[in-house]
């Protein structure tokens, strides 16, 4: 079955899956918690000024983990899954807020280029997640792949502008101004080590960190030339269920809270597929298996946009979410009486 055919086949057998599509504003609460934790930690670093080794441990394990998680939240919000498609501005503002502890203005540019990733998955020119040919040539041994892993935040950030550059938008300018203003205020108020705690957390969290395994696990060819793999493991809550990646690419307008339900509704389409259980193992295999590396990425030339799937997708705001939950509760009560 082709990449563009599977979602249509799934919906034909499970039309109830459309009820999962829509927004879930609870993501804004999770984002707020993570942002507040990072600001508290940066303040504590500024006040107590721990030794360099303690500072480095905090930067890697706390800031790296949370900032990577916030990057995954930016992905979720980039699909307008926080407040729905009718409220694009609200989603963008939330993504700017989510971006703050990461210290690098990336939220709006990510959204712009990520749309093409879904439409042109594996396309050499149009998919910004597809490694450049020079990456495949330069990073072909375990040692050079390790360098690639450390450089991953920079490669991932600049690859879209090299591969398929687009005009800068007003929202990207706003993103830049808001982020740089925040960075300068934080640097002045809390000092260098708090600033470094946050920005190095982004570089380490998106680089040599176990969570980076999800970037590799998603579209590198680990099994049977399968274009997309899922990961079902304990990191999923922190990466906003991005591990459910086959499911996400089939139905990108289902929020992260409902992706496990999608897998349950259509087990015949997902249960048999090869999947990853460990992101650390993903990184190990990527580094040391000769057939792996940046060159082992799925390749495709098809337009995978499927607007017909989403004609009846809810486009509402928070009130729509509570209406949905109320309807689900009533349905559950009705089923319990049968």
Tens-place pLDDT, residues 126-169: 777 788 888 888 998 999 999 999 999 999 899 888 888 889 99
Widest Cα–Cα separation across the chain = 64
pLDDT of residue 316: 47
CA pair distance 224, 146, nearest whole angstrom:
25
Which two three-digit tokens encode residue 71?
């990057």
Q: Dihedral angle at the C-alpha atoms of 131, 136, 137, 138, nearest 10 degrees? A: 80
Q: Give the residue ranges of DSSP H helices in the chain.
A: 6-13, 26-48, 52-57, 64-78, 88-99, 107-119, 133-138, 142-163, 170-190, 192-205, 213-219, 245-250, 259-265, 267-270, 279-288, 318-337
User: Strand, helix or coil at 119?
Assistant: helix
The rounded distance, in Å, linking the Cα atoms of 115 and 128 is 10
Smallest Cα–Cα separation from 136: which of 22, 296, 298?
Answer: 296
Of 159, 178, 7, 23, the closest CA to residue 88 belongs to 23
> How far lies 241's CA from each of 213, 295, 307, in Å?
14, 26, 23
CA atoms of 292 and 141, how far apart (whole Å) = 9
* CA–CA separation, 314 and 330 (whole Å): 19
pLDDT by 10s per residue, the chain, length 338? 555 578 889 999 999 999 999 999 999 999 999 999 999 999 999 999 999 999 999 999 999 999 999 999 999 999 999 999 999 999 999 999 999 999 999 999 999 988 888 887 777 777 777 888 888 889 989 999 999 999 999 998 998 888 888 899 999 999 999 999 999 999 999 999 999 999 999 999 999 999 999 999 888 766 666 778 899 999 999 999 999 999 999 999 999 999 999 999 999 999 999 999 999 999 999 999 877 877 766 666 554 444 444 445 444 444 444 455 556 666 666 665 54
- pTM for the model stands at 0.87
Helices 88-99 and 64-78, packing angle to 10 deg: 170
Two tokens at 13?
């057998």
Burial of 123 by CB count in 10 Å (0-12 exposed, 13-18 middle, 19+ buried)? buried
Compute the distance between CA of residue 220 and CA of residue 150 in angstroms, rounded to an integer: 18
Burial tier of 4 (Cβ tally within 10 Å: 0-12, 13-18, 19+) = middle
Q: Which of 311, 108, 153, 127 is nearest to 228 (CA)?
A: 127
- Can you give the pLDDT at residue 57? 98
Whole-number Å distance between alpha carbons of 254 and 20: 6
* Two structure tokens written together for 216: 């590799």
**Nearest in space to 67 (alpha carbons), one of 91, 40, 37, 45:** 37
According to DSSP, residue 61 is labeled I
Cα radius of gyration (the chain): 20
Alpha carbons 279 and 211: distance in angstroms, whole number: 7
């Amino acid at each position: 079955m082709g990449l563009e055919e599977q979602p249509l086949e799934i919906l034909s057998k499970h039309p109830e899956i459309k009820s999962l599509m829509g927004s879930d504003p609870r993501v804004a609460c999770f984002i707020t918690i993570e942002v507040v934790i990072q600001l508290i930690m940066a303040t504590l670093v500024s006040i107590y000024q721990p030794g360099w080794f303690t500072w480095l441990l905090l930067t890697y394990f706390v800031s790296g983990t949370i900032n990577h998680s916030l990057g995954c939240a930016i992905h979720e919000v980039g699909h307008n899954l926080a407040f729905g498609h009718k409220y694009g501005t609200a989603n963008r503002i939330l993504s700017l807020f989510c971006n703050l502890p990461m210290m690098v203005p990336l939220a709006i540019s990510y959204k712009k280029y990520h749309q093409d990733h879904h439409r042109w998955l594996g396309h050499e020119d149009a998919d910004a997640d597809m490694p450049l040919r020079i990456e495949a040539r330069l990073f072909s041994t375990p040692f050079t792949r390790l360098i690639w892993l450390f450089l991953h935040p920079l490669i991932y950030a600049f690859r879209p502008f090299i591969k398929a550059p687009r005009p800068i938008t007003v929202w990207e300018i706003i993103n830049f101004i808001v982020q740089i203003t925040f960075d300068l205020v934080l640097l002045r108020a809390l000092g260098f080590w708090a600033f470094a705690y946050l920005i190095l957390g982004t570089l380490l969290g998106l680089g040599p960190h176990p969570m980076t395994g999800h970037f590799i696990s998603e579209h590198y060819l680990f099994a049977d030339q399968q274009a997309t793999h899922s990961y079902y493991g304990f990191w999923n809550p922190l990466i906003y269920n991005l591990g459910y990646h086959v499911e996400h690419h089939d139905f990108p307008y289902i929020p992260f809270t409902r992706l496990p339900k999608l897998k349950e509704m259509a087990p015949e389409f997902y249960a048999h597929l090869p999947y990853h259980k460990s992101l650390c193992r993903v990184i190990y295999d990527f580094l040391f298996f000769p057939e792996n590396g940046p060159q082992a990425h799925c390749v495709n030339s098809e337009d995978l946009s499927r607007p017909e799937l989403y004609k009846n997708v809810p486009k509402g705001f928070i009130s729509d979410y509570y209406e949905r939950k109320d309807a689900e509760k009533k349905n559950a009560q009705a089923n319990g009486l049968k």
